[in-house]
Structure 1
């Protein structure tokens, strides 16, 4: 029987950690890609008691912590609140996050997160056993770039959501990170291909150059691979695109004209990169970024 050899038996590195910030550096969303959901779910429960935490969501293999920037005093208690986020400091183009935990929570707070992709630097204490441990990681400050797309297919071939995912996946990099996709159910109009669904793609970008490169490369790929002449693509940089919800609500309840959609985009400073008839659904998708479970339900509200 083969003898098992483990290089790091007490470290389960997170795949990636990102920090998306609001324009005023007051709030951030820490997005952690997990290699072990059981451990991440444990952290999710215990971190919920941290004073800086505003909200926690699970999307696919990621856990998202909406946090206030600043320091907090953690009162760690075994079994009930054994780990947490102690501070989130946004400084220029970096975000420093300090985690703390007891026992196994301290292991997660230190090397498990320090070894994640996206971490620029780290400072950790010893952890494991009954120790109390801390770890501070530094990751790039990102802003949320949201892309809405619709009508890349015809009644004979194609599927918008698959094309968008494959494009986004191929453009994923350290300075423009593919964060999520959601399919958005629209009002079924006669012009639909079949299910009348648009797509919203979420990226985190570290700077304006990364954003512009992303949008131009995404547009170029759509022009290359779309089989429709009516493709629509729009984009907005926004931490929370709640202002686009009213338009989306209209588009999900009745037929909307292309002229109405283009005028809405103009009035709300939304960049239109491809202005085919699909721009109607592309705009309606923006409000549902990172909400893949709700976006497919017509009656859902943000």
Structure 2
């Protein structure tokens, strides 16, 4: 076994293109979510198509510019790996395993894709170390095949829905949510993104546009409580409404598709039914206002990872 740190890999191969590798796991659900950022859009797109074709541990992938987010299964799985062809992917994620407070992802790549798994990803910010079976895995390029085991810190995913921080006279929930996320300095809490969720604009009790906000974080397990306390205090101290709702889901993917995904965009709901649905799905409220903002906060969590359609009216697509 050969082990390299990111600095050692960079010294051997020079600075390459990976800008971030972050792995979140949900051990109870057997799921992982892997965020990868690169300076090269072309390599991200090629890797996505080949990893999807190869299968292995991958269950789904989305792309935004030079970033990809992979959904994966925890465990090791045979991949349809080899030179790119109708049935084979030239790069593959073969496994995800949890070892204490670390996560190990196992990769295979051939030719240029081997450079990616042996030299590029291993020097990404966020990597602790990379393990290679032999020196042959470090002979990259040409028609060579390489495998690597990349070790990263263990993160969990936390999704936070926020609504009703404003009034008709002042405030904007998306601004406050974004300010909260960007002001967070908790070590071990990585801000991923903010999403706006269009709720039902025909409800009678609303501000103007009827929009909730969702924040996604990758968080070290021992920092989750600290993050939630920070978010609750920041939002409630700066909100201008007494109806603010803050809902939280810990995990990758909800246990099932909720009928309230449709309802929050199309119906007039009451607070009690939304609190009941949240409890059924394992979503908790951390606000102390206990007001109608909990309706939109639930909707924000339900749509927080559903793509651009979250921002549209129900049924709208690009």
Q: Deviations over 1:83-134 (max 9, x none)?
A: 1112222222221112221222111112211122221211252323332222
Name the residue aligned to 2:135.
Answer: none
Q: Is 1:58 aligned to residue 63 of structure 2? A: yes
Alignment TM-score, normalising by the size of structure 2: 0.82
Q: Is 1:12 aligned to residue 16 of structure 2? A: yes
Name the residue aligned to 1:33.
Answer: 37
Given that 2:158 and 2:250 are in contact with CA atoms closer than 8 Å, whether structure 1 keeps it comes out as: yes
Q: Is 1:115 aligned to residue 123 of structure 2? A: yes
SS at match of 2:142: coil
Aligned-pair distance for 1:259?
Answer: 3.4
Aligned-pair distance for 1:163?
Answer: 2.1
SS at match of 1:49: helix
Name the residue aligned to 1:22.
Answer: 26
Name the residue aligned to 1:221.
Answer: 234
Name the residue aligned to 1:3.
Answer: none
Structure (1/2) with the larger helix percentage: 2
Q: Which moved more, 1:54-63 or 1:281-290?
A: 54-63
Equivalent-residue separation in structure 2 for 1:22 and 1:129 (angstroms): 37
Aligned-pair distance for 1:175?
Answer: 2.1
Given that 1:231 and 1:276 are in contact with CA atoms closer than 8 Å, whether structure 2 keeps it comes out as: yes
Choose which of 89, 99, 110 in structure 1 pairs with 2:107. Answer: 99
Name the residue aligned to 2:224.
Answer: 211
Name the residue aligned to 2:162.
Answer: 149
Given that 2:197 and 2:304 are in contact with CA atoms closer than 8 Å, whether structure 1 keeps it comes out as: no
Given that 1:13 and 1:114 are in contact with CA atoms closer than 8 Å, whether structure 2 keeps it comes out as: no
Name the residue aligned to 1:262.
Answer: 275
Q: Deviations over 1:226-267 (max 9, x none)?
A: 222221111121321254722332222111123333344455
Q: 1:243 to 1:132 in 2, by over 3 A?
A: closer
Aligned-pair distance for 1:135?
Answer: 2.4
Gaps of 5+ in 2: 1-10, 133-137
Q: Is 1:126 aligned to residue 139 of structure 2? A: yes
Equivalent-residue separation in structure 2 for 1:227 and 1:169 (angstroms): 20
Gaps of 5+ in 1: 1-6
Given that 1:31 and 1:63 are in contact with CA atoms closer than 8 Å, whether structure 2 keeps it comes out as: yes
Report the RMSD for the aligned CA atoms in angstroms. Answer: 2.6
